[in-house]
Amino acid sequence: MTSLVTFDRATLGYGRRAVLTDISFDIPEGDFLGLVGPNGAGKTTILRALLGTLEPLGGSVTRSPELRFGYVPQRDQVDYNFPLKVVDVVMMGRYDRIGLGRRPTADDRRRAHQALEHVGIDRLADYPLADLSGGQKQRTLIARALVGEPNVLVLDEPTNGMDLVATTQILGLVRELHDRDRLTVLMVSHALNEVANYVERIALVVEGGFRIGTTDEIMTEQALTEMYGIPVEVDSFDGHRIVVARRQTGEMATDSV
Amino acid sequence: MVTASSLRVVKPGKWPPTVFSTVLLFREALYGALVIALACSVLGVYVVLRRIVFVGAALAQISSAGIALALWLAGVGIALGPVTEPTVVSLLLTLGAVMFFASGARGRVPPDATIGVTYAVAAAVGILLIAKAATGEAHDIFLSGNILGITRRDTLVLLGVTLPVLAVHAVFYKELLFVSFDRETARTLGYNVRWWDLLLYLTLGVVIASAMQFAGVMLVFNFLVLPAVTGLLLSRTMRGVFFWSVASALVAAFVGFSLSVPFDLPSGPAISAASGAFVLLAWGARRTITRS
């Protein structure tokens, strides 16, 4: 399968400070990859290198020609004080296609509505963005990423701060976009338990360490215990895998990895 | 400072007809105030939405320090032609500050503290220079501006600055909006965010520097903030916010100016007070709509 992005012994960091060294992996067309790790582990650094907004300090990051990302930022990265309608925000995903100094055409507006329909919120097109719920805002940002007709959908912590229902719906939507449209997806998250049951491969980043494999390869007690450096159990419930970290006292603590 | 009474045109006994004839006497100044109101109220929408209100204040203060420097140089007999003209000195200093703010330089000092230091130093240096400037009335002008002193030529110069700035903002509206709203996503779509920041700051600097010598720190800052706040209170679309921002600034300039002339009030503060009244009215309207 064609590789869309290739990290070849890439050293990533800021200034002279390396955050991650010798990272090698690729993202083939049609992949559904979860980039998982605790806050501060280097997920954002990998994400920036992938998107091309951070040059590697060593090695290389190669992107296939004509590659186009549909980027969904963290929800709190967007300023909701701006008095924008949902459809106006979605339209931004086409701004670079529309061109400098040009106005959106009727076709651009039609595509923006189509993208909203695709994520199930076309009825909210004329609502102020600030009035939407967390899940609806996330759908708006996903629609904005889709309207640019990307090869790869990149989502940064898409379920951060959401309740259980909204989290399940957003992850379900992303999975549906991957299955239905065969869209290549990279999802960045700190919540292994959430991501593991939706993605096909997992890249685990923990304190400078990096490991990538299929979900079956990564979601093992041995692999996770090695990466996190604490005893970890992987349980299964109704087809869903749940990672549980053992406290040193012997008590069980869920959601700690 | 030039006031209506200094020209002996006030006849309170014949109000209101005298109001219009008196205002007409100063119509060139009114036109100038309206141009300043228009330019600042458009750019002010970005200033408020991007939360760079204090960058606006600091730029205004630096610009006024530039005027003070030019007046002081003139006072001590240093004249290097156009380079030491108040507008030119003000513009050069402001653009220098624009480059600094737009560079987004990060150090150990938090950005808002850097802005605070710039503001305080510019204010102090400006006042010190004015204190030693030979121009007797300079201190008043420094604070409140000299709206009534605007001539037809000044208005044309202001228009010459304002129209290209507004044209740039009209043409690149969607780009400036995008990098202001979500710079990270804009960056992933290939936008050079720093370049667009610089363009926004440059237009801001040019407008502030050209308006400062007539309007003063208070009125320029007022036009950069209050009309945009009025717009944000009254509308929930960008188009509506721009409309109400510009409309309230123009009406405040007209009302404040018209009342200041016959009542012998300083024009700048009168216009600022009118802008403040619009903010209050907009706030009341918003509350009424929200409750109903």
Residue A134 class from Cβ within 10 Å (0-12 exposed, 13-18 middle, 19+ buried)? middle
Specify the pLDDT at position B138.
57
Nearest to B70 by CA among B91, B54, B47: B91
Domain boundaries, chain B: 26-217
Nearest to A100 among B49, B175, B236 (CB): B175
Highest mean pLDDT among A39-48, A137-146, A231-240, B145-154: A137-146
Amino acid at A242: I
Chain A residue closest in CA terms to B238: A83
Does the pLDDT at position A257 exceed 50? no
Residue A51, chain B, CB below 8 Å: the answer is: yes
User: What CATH topology corresponds to B26-217?
Assistant: ABC transporter involved in vitamin B12 uptake, BtuC (1.10.3470)
The minimum CA-CA distance between B159 and chain A, rounded to whole Å, is 23
Mutation site for A-interface testing, chosen from B182, B245, B286 by largest number of A Cβ within 10 Å: B182
Residue B242, phi then psi, degrees to nearest 5: -60, -40
Residue B251 class from Cβ within 10 Å (0-12 exposed, 13-18 middle, 19+ buried)? middle
ipTM score of complex: 0.88
Strand order in the sheet with A152-156: A69-72, A152-156, A184-189, A32-36, A201-206, A209-214
Report helix, strand or coil for B143.
helix
The minimum CA-CA distance between B110 and chain A, rounded to whole Å, is 19
Residue A71, chain B, CB below 8 Å: the answer is: yes
Nearest to B166 by CA among B133, B134, B206: B206
Residues B214/B216/B220/B226 CA torsion (nearest 10 deg): -120
Chain B residue closest in CA terms to A141: B185
Residues of A in contact with B188 (CB under 8 A): 51-53, 69, 71, 154
Specify the pLDDT at position B141.
59
Interface of B with A (CB under 8 A): 49, 171-172, 174-175, 177-178, 180-182, 184-191, 232, 235-238, 240-241
Q: How far apart are CA A111 and CA A126, in angstroms?
A: 15
Residue A48, chain B, CB below 8 Å: the answer is: no
The minimum CA-CA distance between A226 and chain B, rounded to whole Å, is 34
Nearest to B178 among A85, A92, A103 (CB): A92
Residues of chain B with pLDDT below 70 are 1-19, 104-107, 134-144
Specify the pLDDT at position A256.
43
The minimum CA-CA distance between B275 and chain A, rounded to whole Å, is 21
Contact A97, A107 (CB under 8 A): no
Q: What is the DSSP letter of B78?
A: -
The minimum CA-CA distance between A24 and chain B, rounded to whole Å, is 22
- Whole-prediction pTM value? 0.87
Residue A85, chain B, CB below 8 Å: the answer is: yes
Look at B238 and A84 and tell me if their CB atoms are within 8 Å.
yes
Nearest to A73 among B171, B172, B184 (CB): B184
Summarize pLDDT for A60-85 with one digit per residue, the tens: 999 998 899 999 999 888 999 999 99
Number of Cα atoms under 13 Å in the Cβ half of residue A181: 18
Summarize pLDDT for A111-169 with one digit per residue, the tens: 999 999 999 999 999 999 999 999 999 999 999 999 999 999 999 999 888 888 889 99
Contact B290, B47 (CB under 8 A): no
Residues of B in contact with A79 (CB under 8 A): 49, 180-182
Look at B182 and A92 and tell me if their CB atoms are within 8 Å.
yes
Specify the pLDDT at position B140.
59
Nearest to B236 among A73, A98, A128 (CB): A128
Domain boundaries, chain A: 1-67+151-229, 79-149
Specify the pLDDT at position B14.
53
Tokens representing B77? 């007999």
**Quick one: residue B247, left, alpha or beta (phi over 0 = left, psi -120 to 50 = alpha)?**
alpha
Summarize pLDDT for B240-289 with one digit per residue, the tens: 999 999 999 999 999 999 998 888 888 889 999 999 999 999 999 999 98
Residues of B in contact with A103 (CB under 8 A): 174
What is A1-67+151-229's CATH number, 3.10.20.30, 3.40.50.300, 3.30.470.30, 3.90.1150.10? 3.40.50.300
Residue A75, chain B, CB below 8 Å: the answer is: no
Cα three-residue angle A95-A99-A105, rounded to 5 degrees: 70
Higher pLDDT, A25 or B84: A25
Higher pLDDT, A253 or B269: B269
Look at A98 and B174 and tell me if their CB atoms are within 8 Å.
yes
